[in-house]
Amino acid sequence: MKEKILEYIHKDPKLKGALIGISIRSPQTGDLLFEHQADIRMHPASNMKLLTGAAALSVLGEDYTFLTELKTDGEIRGNVLDGNLYLVGKGDPTLLPEVFDGFALELKNQGIETIKGDIIGDDTWYDDMRLSPDLVWTDEQYYYGSQVSALTASPNEDYDTGAIILEITPGEHAGDKPEIKVFPDINYVTIENQAITVNKQVEEELMVEREHATNQISISGKITADSEKQKEVMAVWDASNYAMKLFQNGLEKAGITWRGDIRLGCAPENLHSLLSRNSMPLSDLLVPFMKQSNNGHAEILVKEMGKVMYEEGSWEKGLDVVKKQIQRFGLCVDTLVLKDGSGISHSDAIPPNEITKLLYEVQNEAWFPVFLNSLPIAGEGEQMVGGTLNDRLKGYDVKAKTGTIEGVSTLSGYLTTKQGKRLIFSIMVNHLLDEEEGKQVEDEIIEIIVGEYEKTL
């Protein structure tokens, strides 16, 4: 096997000028079966989520939920809430538009038709740093670089926090502007549509961009008349006020009026609780987190760990918790560089041998079945099963976390050969000219590993 892999590495033109690290470990003994540059720190991309997920299961537990509360400093008199209404967010990434509608209906069912005071959103459960310091500035406009807030909202059941969905449908005739639909449609973003429909087939000609520090989205370029509608998920500016806008929309639909302002603020102590909601447990949330490689979930989990352990929901405290937990699994934290929970940072650096060591050690944890179930499964078409491996390595028994940022592609997890031989592996490729080619490299190396093991069984 060693000779075949090394021959591939030295001959494949996709790897010219790139750096590749490979670690293969026995799941029974933890012994290294093969390593190539496996102690060199490499950018993990979303393989970082393996560390974040393991730490979160250890610290928070698989039954952990995120709480959202509605409170007041007043009293209900008749159909009037005589006081302020507080929407207190505590990190729940599963607040969909219909959830905010449900909050409003529950208030209506309690007899509230008018709120005499202000409606105040409390997002102070976490700190006010909305973007990780190492986030590439051009990424903050897209859903995978969205703001991290304790009070946030998601437009879909992928739970893409702090984001909206654009649906772009070509016009009927050449020269027509495409039709743009926004979900949720609450007038939180402004669309500047400069795109046109064309008859000639075009590829990747449509540009969707959000102006920094605004909710002004511009759409330009061309879309072919007979093409399918395109979907773009874009991050909004100010995730907390986005959630408040959804709540306002829900109140309006329920026929509840208010006399004060809608604003952000800190809820005082000793408020009266009107209602509360718990998110799905972490065991269920881990599925969209890992399968869909959700960056927002990763950063929320980091801040939540900091809040639980140190009473400070920050990247600094949360990452300190992550380091302490993975050290418990035997990882050498002195050789790691951890800057966020998602791996979107180009400063994160982890050796492949440390990844496989983690994957070996977590097998002994009571929550390991939850961890394993969250990993994408190769060749499975359903998104919440195959996830980011849904169209890769069909016919192979691979459960693994993918990772992709500019110039980087990674794949780490568990595989079983057709003869039942189980292996733990990590393949990390850095400094690629085309990160999409990195996926081909990983798949081809997996094929070599499985083929060579089959020969020896």
**Both tokens assigned to 110:** 């309690």
- Superfamily covering domain 67-129+239-278: D-Ala-D-Ala carboxypeptidase C, peptidase S13 (3.50.80.20)
The residue among 57 and 454 whose pLDDT is bigger is: 57
Structural domain boundaries in the chain: 2-64+282-456, 67-129+239-278, 163-235
What percent of the chain shows pLDDT beyond 70? 99
The average pLDDT across 418-432 equals 96
Q: Is 46 one of the catalytic residues?
A: yes
pLDDT band at 457 (very low <50, low <70, confident <90, very high): low
The average pLDDT across 53-57 equals 98
Least confident of 32-41, 220-229, 230-239: 220-229
User: CA-to-CA distance for 313 and 302, rounded, in angstroms?
Assistant: 8
Tens digits of residue pLDDT in 174-190: 999 999 999 999 999 99
Nearest Cα to 85, choosing from 125, 109, 121, 111?
121
| CB-CB contact of 303 with 126 (8 Å) | yes
CATH number for the domain formed by residue range(s) 2-64+282-456? 3.40.710.10
Other C-beta atoms lying within 10 Å of the C-beta of residue 293: 23
- Per annotation, catalytic residue among 49, 222, 245, 357: 49
- Per annotation, catalytic residue among 279, 293, 345, 412: 293
| DSSP-based three-state secondary structure for 187 | coil
What is the Cβ-side half-sphere exposure of residue 279, based on CA atoms within 13 angstroms?
28
327 contacts: CB under 8 Å, gap ≥ 6: 333
Q: Which helix (H) or strand (E) holds 107?
A: helix 97-109
- Per annotation, catalytic residue among 46, 149, 154, 227: 46
pLDDT for 324 beyond 90: yes
Tens digits of residue pLDDT in 391-424: 999 999 999 999 999 999 999 999 999 899 999 9
Q: What is the mean pLDDT of the chain?
A: 97
| Angle between helix 295-310 and 48-59 (nearest 10) | 40
Q: Is 283 one of the catalytic residues?
A: no
Identify residue 320 by its one-letter amino acid code: D
* DSSP one-letter string for 201-220: --SS--EEEE-TTS-EEEEE
Q: What number of residues does the chain have?
A: 457
Tens digits of residue pLDDT in 193-232: 999 999 987 776 899 999 999 999 999 999 999 999 999 9
Nearest Cα to 318, choosing from 65, 147, 148, 88?
148
pLDDT of amino acid 255: 98
pLDDT of amino acid 336: 98
The average pLDDT across 274-292 equals 98
Tens digits of residue pLDDT in 128-150: 999 998 999 999 999 999 999 99
Q: Is 49 one of the catalytic residues?
A: yes
